Amino acid sequence: MDMERVNARGLVLLGCGKMGSALLAGWLARGLKHQTVTVLDPNPSDWLQAQGIRVNGPVPARPAVVVLAVKPQMMGEALPLLAPLGQTDALILSVAAGTTLARFETVFGPQAVLVRAMPNTPAAVGRGITAIVGNARAGEADLALAESLLSAVGEVVRLQSESQMDAVTGLSGSGPAYVFHLIEAMAAAGEAQGLAPDLAMRLARATVCGAGELAHQTPETSAAQLRINVTSPGGTTAAGLSVLMDPKSGFPDLLRRAVAAATERGRELGQ
C-alpha cells in the first residue's frame, strides 16, 4: 500500500461491520495511522473506540481513499454525503455487492476514480479472495492501490471487465456457503453410517479444513492432481468418487447449476 500517501491525506471508511472491520484491522497492522482514519457508521463498535479511531466526525476534504463497505440497501442514504469527493482524485473503492460502477458514477460523477471489488467472507480471517475492476478513470496506480488495500485480507485478482463480476459473486462470493453446506452434508452422511453426530461433524470439519489447507500450501499442484494423489485405483476413495463424479448427478453438474443460479441472481440484483 502507498501508506505514506494514505497517511498524509487520510482514509474514509463508510460502514464498519464485519468486512469493514476486517479490512481496517489489516490496514492498521500494515502501518495505517489511527488518526488518519475516519469511520462513518450509525452503530460503531466498541472496538473502534478502543482503537482511537475518529467515528462520524468531519470528513477530510481530499482523502486519498474512500472505502464503501455498507450494504447495498444503505447506499442511497449514505452516498450523497460523500458525493463531493468524486470531484477530487480520491480512489473510491467499493466492496458492496451488486452495485455497479455505472451506479456509482451517477452519484460521484463520471470523473470519479472508481474501483469495484468483490471480497468473500474468509477475509475475516485473512484468507479471503477479492476480484477488482476499475472504471475508465482508474489507472494502473489506482488499481495497484486498491489491490494493496485489499491484500490485507487475502488474495486479489483483477478482472478483464465488470461483466465478469456476477460470475465471481456466484463462485467465490457465495462459495464459502457451498463449502459450509458440504461440511453439513458430509457430517450427515457420516451419521447415516453409524457415527455419533458430534464425531461426524468433527471429522467433516477437520477434513474439509485440512484438504483446503493442503491445496493452499501446494498452489503449483492442480486440484485434479491432488485428487488423483489420494485416490488408489479400486479403493475406498475411488468408490466414493464414482458417485460424486457422475456426469448426470454428481458434483460437476450440481455445482455448475449452483454457480449459474447465484450468478443469475447477481445479475438481477444489479439491475
Q: Which residues are annotated as a binding site for NADP(+)?
A: 14-19, 69-72
C-alpha cell at 61: 476534504
Integer angstrom CA distances of residue 49 from 13, 36, 43, 44, 211: 15, 14, 12, 8, 39
Task: Tell me the binding residues.
Answer: 14-19, 56, 69-72
- In the DSSP assignment, the letter for residue 254 is H
Please name every residue paired with 14 in a beta bridge, in sequence order, or none if there are none: 40, 68
Pair 136, 104: CB distance under 8 Å: no
Task: Tell me the binding residues for NADPH.
Answer: 56
Radius of gyration of the chain (CA): 21
- Tell me, what amino acid is at 45? S
